[in-house]
Structure 1
Amino acid sequence: MSEPVRQHWVPKIYLRNFATPESINMSSPKVNVYDLGFKKQFCTSIDKVLVQKHLYTLGADSDSPLYVVEKTLAKIEGWSKSCIEAFSKGQTIHTNPQSKYIAAVFFATLLMRNPHMLEVQENGFRDLKDLRENSNYSSLESKISDFIIDEENGESLREISDWFSQLDQEGKHIFFVRSIIDTATTLAQSLLKKKWCLLRSVDGYFVTSDNPITVFHPKASPYGICTDGVHIHIAITPRILLLLGGEVSLDENQVYDVPLELVEHMNYLTIAKAERFIISSFTFDDLQNLIRETKQKI
Structure 2
Amino acid sequence: MQKSKRNHWVSQAYLRAFASDPERREKIWRFGKDTGAPELKPIEKVAVRFYLYAPKGKDGKRDYAFEAKLSELEQWFGDPLWQRLCTEMVDLSWEPVRKMVSLLVAVMYLRTPAQFEASKAMHRQIVDVYGQFPELPSSFDHKGKMYRLDNSKWAEYRDASEDDMKRFWLSQVGSAVWLAEILMKMRWAVVFSDVPVFITTDNPVTIIHPSLRFRGLKNPETTLIFPLSPTRVLMMDNRQSEPNGHYYPLKERPGCFNSTLWRNAIEHMFSHRDPDIVCAEMLAEAERMGFA
1:113-156 deviation per Cα after TM superposition (whole angstroms, max 9, x unaligned): 1011111112223444566689xx99xx75699xxxxx6x735x
Cross-structure match for 1:167? 160
1:122 aligns to what SS in structure 2? helix
Q: 1:34 aligns with which of 31, 34, 51?
A: 31
Q: CA RMSD in A?
A: 3.3
Return the offset for 1:199.
0.4
Contact 1:56 1:70 in 2 (8 A): yes
Q: 1:49 aligns with which of 46, 49, 58?
A: 46
Contact 1:19 1:280 in 2 (8 A): yes
- Aligned pairs, number: 279
Contact 1:109 1:180 in 2 (8 A): yes
Cross-structure match for 1:6? 6
2:39 aligns to what SS in structure 1? strand
Instruction: Supply the distance in 1 between the matched residues of 2:199 and 2:216 (Cα, whole angstroms).
Output: 23
Contact 2:188 2:235 in 1 (8 A): yes
Instruction: Supply the distance in 2 between the matched residues of 1:274 and 1:93 (Cα, whole angstroms).
Output: 29
Identity %: 19
Question: Aligned partner of 1:227: which letter?
Answer: N
2:119 aligns to what SS in structure 1? helix
Cross-structure match for 1:238? 230
Return the offset for 1:229.
1.8
Q: 2:244 aligns with which of 235, 238, 252?
A: 252
Contact 2:201 2:262 in 1 (8 A): yes
Cross-structure match for 2:174? 181
Return the offset for 1:225.
3.1
Contact 1:90 1:200 in 2 (8 A): no
Return the offset for 1:265.
1.7
The verdict on how the C-alpha distance between 1:75 and 1:2 changes in structure 2, with shifts beyond 3 A counting, is closer
Instruction: Supply the distance in 1 between the matched residues of 2:57 and 2:123 (Cα, whole angstroms).
Output: 24
Cross-structure match for 1:97? 95
Contact 2:209 2:221 in 1 (8 A): yes
Return the offset for 1:60.
7.2
Q: 2:190 aligns with which of 193, 198, 216?
A: 198
1:119 aligns to what SS in structure 2? helix
Query: Deviating runs (4+, > 6 A) in structure 1?
Result: 158-162, 291-294
Cross-structure match for 1:154? 149
Instruction: Supply the distance in 1 between the matched residues of 2:37 and 2:161 (Cα, whole angstroms).
Output: 36
Contact 2:87 2:231 in 1 (8 A): no
Instruction: Supply the distance in 2 between the matched residues of 1:159 and 1:242 (Cα, whole angstroms).
Output: 45
Return the offset for 1:266.
1.5
Return the offset for 1:193.
1.0
Return the offset for 1:198.
0.8
2:269 aligns to what SS in structure 1? strand
Q: Which runs of 5+ in 1 are unaligned?
A: 146-150
Contact 2:13 2:77 in 1 (8 A): no
Question: Aligned partner of 1:186: which letter?
Answer: W
The verdict on how the C-alpha distance between 1:202 and 1:264 changes in structure 2, with shifts beyond 3 A counting, is farther
Higher CA-based Rg? 2
Cross-structure match for 1:148? none
The verdict on how the C-alpha distance between 1:187 and 1:161 changes in structure 2, with shifts beyond 3 A counting, is farther
Cross-structure match for 2:85? 87
Question: Aligned partner of 1:281: which letter?
Answer: H
Contact 2:207 2:214 in 1 (8 A): no
Instruction: Supply the distance in 2 between the matched residues of 1:125 and 1:181 (Cα, whole angstroms).
Output: 19
Return the offset for 1:79.
3.1
Question: Would you say 1:121 and 2:133 are equivalent positions?
Answer: no
Question: Would you say 1:208 and 2:205 are equivalent positions?
Answer: no
Return the offset for 1:211.
0.1
Contact 2:255 2:283 in 1 (8 A): no
The verdict on how the C-alpha distance between 1:74 and 1:45 changes in structure 2, with shifts beyond 3 A counting, is same
Instruction: Supply the distance in 1 between the matched residues of 2:37 and 2:57 (Cα, whole angstroms).
Output: 33
**Mean Cα deviation higher: 195-204 or 9-18:** 195-204
Cross-structure match for 2:268? 277
The verdict on how the C-alpha distance between 1:144 and 1:119 changes in structure 2, with shifts beyond 3 A counting, is farther
Question: Aligned partner of 2:9: which letter?
Answer: W
